Amino acid sequence: MKLRLDDLALFGGRPAFPAPVHIGVPNIGDRKRFLKSVNDILDRRYLSNRGPVAREFERQVAELVEVEHCVATCNATAALQLAIRAAGLTGEVIVPSFTFPATPHSVHWLGLTPVFCDVDPSGNIDVDRLGSVLTRRASGIMAVHLWGRPCNVDRLAEFAAAHGLKLLYDSAHAFGCSAGGRMIGGFGDAEVFSFHATKVVNSFEGGALVTNDDSLAERARSLSNFGIVSESEVAEPGTNAKMSEVAAAMGLASLAAMPAFVARNRENHEAYQAELAGVPGLRVLDFDHRERNNYQYVVLDVDVAIAGVSRDVLTDALRAENIMGRRYFTPGCHRTAAYRDRVHAPMPGTEELAERLVVLPSGTATTPRDIAVLCQVVRFVVSHAAEVAASMSDQVRAGVEAL
């Protein structure tokens, strides 16, 4: 048990973990099942182009999220682009500023303009601010269910309908989650999931567009395969966004294990909450327990005025201990080099969250002991906030003077 300040790695002590403890370490399902499926794929010599495994993955995803159609893709970014094209968006698309860059990039790469809208304290797009960024060039909204917590789907639908906008959801984080008791996947014109390695269900790389709109689904399917509609016809310029058979096999193994992954995430989340309860200025963001949640992201909010340490000081102190928390999504897309030269509405909500939040390790690779040790370090840092913060600023000053 660390009792003295110089036990902290920051002050020359041995790191709490001998090797980095990362967030986003993939959940691995039943290896035997996966490897058998890979063998079958090799025997069949049918490796891609919507083979039987990809079709089965699409069927299971659609069933789980209770939608009519699923188009499995090579990643979520490609699926977002399919959604934008298949929904017929043009001009400007309103996106939240507090998100992973794939959200605005998917718009930009199609030659459209992402227009940032600030987020509310939940981190989801602030419906009250949509009106202030809406122009006549806007054709749609792409909202994000941040960290699996649902947007205000009713108000977004009302706003979109009132202004003749298409409504898409970047649901990269929200596979297996619900909003008002309805599974995420069936809202708006289409939704997109990510099955990237770091997600609750993974297919190495992968994604899916899901929708209840027959013609949007048909168009997205064709666009994902170069726009081909028959042996001798290409309806429009498409892309190649198809999911391979091996990726789908991983996705199926991951889906089969999903209940266990979610249960483990939930235990981890509860352990973090219990370990950090009552620490001044710290709050592990909760989930709405009336909804279905995947509990994939453990997000810690640091109120520097109460904790005495900022999110950055805490994160750096943890890094020294080999605890690799991530400052998602700092500094906010609108302040990255990719977009900062444009004119944006003020984004105070985004900028505040971008300074306060850190995502902590979870998933099946994170053990209860890891969480206990990690939280012990967090508690220690906060209880010695003044010394830690002073030491960090001394180190920063020394670093500057050494230059």
Q: Are 227 and 236 in contact (CB under 8 A)?
A: yes
Instruction: Kindly determine how many residues on this chain lie close enough to bind ligand T4K according to the rule CB under 6 A.
Output: 23
Residues 6+ apart with CB under 8 A from 154: 180
Q: Is residue 239 within 8 Å of 63, Cβ to Cβ?
A: no
- Which stretch in 38-46, 192-200, 214-222, 301-309 sits in contact with ligand T4K by CB under 6 A? 192-200
Which residue's CB comes closest to ligand T4K? 24
- What is the nearest approach in angstroms of ligand T4K to the Cβ of residue 46? 24
Q: Which is nearer to ligand T4K, 166 or 173 (CB)?
A: 173
CB of 102 to ligand T4K, least distance (A): 4
C-alpha 316/C-alpha 389 separation (Å) is 10
End-to-end alpha carbon distance in the chain: 37
Backbone angles phi, psi at 79, to 5 degrees: -65, -35
Q: Is there a contact between 34 and 250 (Cβ–Cβ < 8 Å)? A: yes
Q: Which of residues 312-341 bind ligand T4K (CB under 6 A)?
A: 324, 328
Nearer residue to ligand T4K within complex by CB, 202 or 310: 202
CB of 394 to ligand T4K, least distance (A): 28
Q: Please, what is the minimum distance in Å from the beta carbon of residue 366 to ligand T4K? A: 11
Q: Which 158-187 positions form the footprint of ligand T4K (CB under 6 A)?
A: 170, 172-173
Q: Are 140 and 163 in contact (CB under 8 A)?
A: no
75 contacts ligand T4K (rule: CB under 6 A)? yes
- Which residues inside 133-162 make contact with ligand T4K, applying CB under 6 A? 144
Task: Spell out, one character per residue from 343 to 362, where the chain touches ligand T4K: x when CB under 6 A holds, - when not.
Answer: --------------------
Backbone angles phi, psi at 273, to 5 degrees: -60, -45
Site for ligand T4K in 12-31 (CB under 6 A): 22-26
364 binds ligand T4K (CB under 6 A): no
The two structure tokens encoding residue 353 = 């969250």
Least Cβ distance, residue 201 to ligand T4K (angstroms): 12
Please name the helix (run of DSSP H) or strand (run of DSSP E) that holds residue 208, with its range, or none.
Answer: strand 207-211
Q: How many CB atoms lie within 10 A of CB 158?
A: 12
Two structure tokens written together for 391: 């030491």
| Positions in 87-116 near ligand T4K (CB under 6 A) | 99-100, 102-103
Give, as one character, the DSSP assignment of residue 359. Answer: E
Q: Which ranges of 289-342 would DSSP assign to H, the alpha helix?
A: 304-307, 311-320
- Residue 126: φ, ψ to 5°: -85, 105
For ligand T4K, the closer CB: 321 or 384: 321
Rounded distance, CA 40 to CA 345, Å? 53
Can you tell me which of 197, 229, 235, 338 binds ligand T4K, judged by CB under 6 A? 197
Count other Cβ atoms within 10 Å, centred on residue 154. 12
In this structure, what DSSP letter does residue 19 have?
A: S
Which residues form the catalytic set?
199
- Kindly indicate which of the ranges 153-161, 196-204, 269-277, 344-352 contains the residues binding ligand T4K, using the contact rule CB under 6 A: 196-204
Of 9, 76, 86, 190, the one binding ligand T4K by CB under 6 A? 76
Tell me the C-alpha to C-alpha distance, in Å, between residue 385 and each of 281, 310, 319, 342. 11, 9, 16, 38
The residue (of 13 and 101) whose beta carbon lies closer to ligand T4K is: 101
In the complex with ligand T4K, the residue whose CB is nearer, 37 or 103, is 103
Q: Does 37 bind ligand T4K (CB under 6 A)?
A: no
- Let me know: does 261 contact 200? Beta carbons within 8 Å: yes
Question: Smaller CB distance to ligand T4K: residue 170 or 245?
Answer: 170
| Cβ proximity to ligand T4K, 196 vs 384, nearer residue | 196
Q: Are 362 and 300 in contact (CB under 8 A)?
A: no
Which residues of the shown chain bind ligand T4K in the complex (CB under 6 A)?
Answer: 22-26, 75-77, 99-100, 102-103, 144, 170, 172-173, 194, 196-198, 207, 324, 328
